[in-house]
Structure 1
Amino acid sequence: MDFPRHHGCNGRLPPEALELEITENIALGREDGTLSPLKALRAKGVGIAFDDFGTGYASLSYLTRYPLTRIKIDRSFVQKIDLQSASEDTAIVRSIIVMGRNLGLEVIAEGVETTAQADFLRSEGCHEMQGFLFSKPLPKEMFEKFLVSSSREKTKTAIEASRLAG
């Protein structure tokens, strides 16, 4: 895969910049055919993520057998979180976050649509999120503009915070 030279990568995208997402159902029952190639990709630096985690029928032992770097909490669990969520509605999300952390995996929550969901996830230690709260899917050109404006906003916020602290 070619990568624009102005990014300092000698014209090549480094393997560490890639992440392959697989669903539990793809892995389920295909361990002989998927495990070896995934381990080879991981050895080269490619990240491996279980997408839609918690919706398949894979056993938890898959989390230790597969060379994972990240698990993605399925949106169906995130959607149950609101300001008045019962503990049973948040228990699975809490458990996935703690389990991921204990296994040394990064955890990302999918389908975040409200600030209440984002606040809950942050308070539980999940700091990576995706969903309509942040942006709808964007074409490349609009995504680049979104990144630039987001970067400017973060810089502005950091400057203001340092002024208040100093």
Structure 2
Amino acid sequence: MKPAGLSSKESFSKDPAQALEQLMEAFGTVVLRTAYFYTKDRHLAEDISQEVFLRAYRNWTSFRGDSAVKTWLTTIGVNVCRDKMGVRMYDEKPTDPVKLEHGPSFNVEDEALRRLEKSEVLQHVLRLPIAFQEALYLYYYLELSTREIAEATASPEGTVRNRLHRAREALARAMNEEETKHDGYGS
């Protein structure tokens, strides 16, 4: 089944330069936020976004369009993030983004990221293993299907479904423990 609408390669120019502009306009924010999700570093995320679009530009003519453009870009993004982060992203606990230093510049996107970082649910998500974080992010935030996540992460679809299930359970447990802890203090 071919993807439709903006998801289809046919909805973009055949010329790689024009397609690049269209891709950046349509998916620039998604790629940047995905890179930020993995790196927790704004500047590194910007570098990774540039690399993703550079790779998309180089490979545009060879991209057959078998998957949605968003899935293809996400696959490139996940691979670039994994390359840049190396083994470290699976070995270390994620940095608490609330504690990250923010530069003196201020813009709307930075403010949106700061608000997102302060979310209570996100704080619980960031305590989960990276494979669970990745599955939740790609499924709920980017709204990729389990098949698309499997493609983007080079994992079997059953593994993706398992990670989503286990992540939801772990998240529910953590949030219930937090609620119980707060109820105990109020008594």
TM-score, shorter chain, exceeding 0.5: no
| Higher fraction of strand | 1
| Higher fraction of helix | 2
- TM-score of the pair, normalised by structure 2: 0.31
- TM-score of the pair, normalised by structure 1: 0.34
Report which structure shows greater RCO (CA 8 Å, sep ≥6).
2
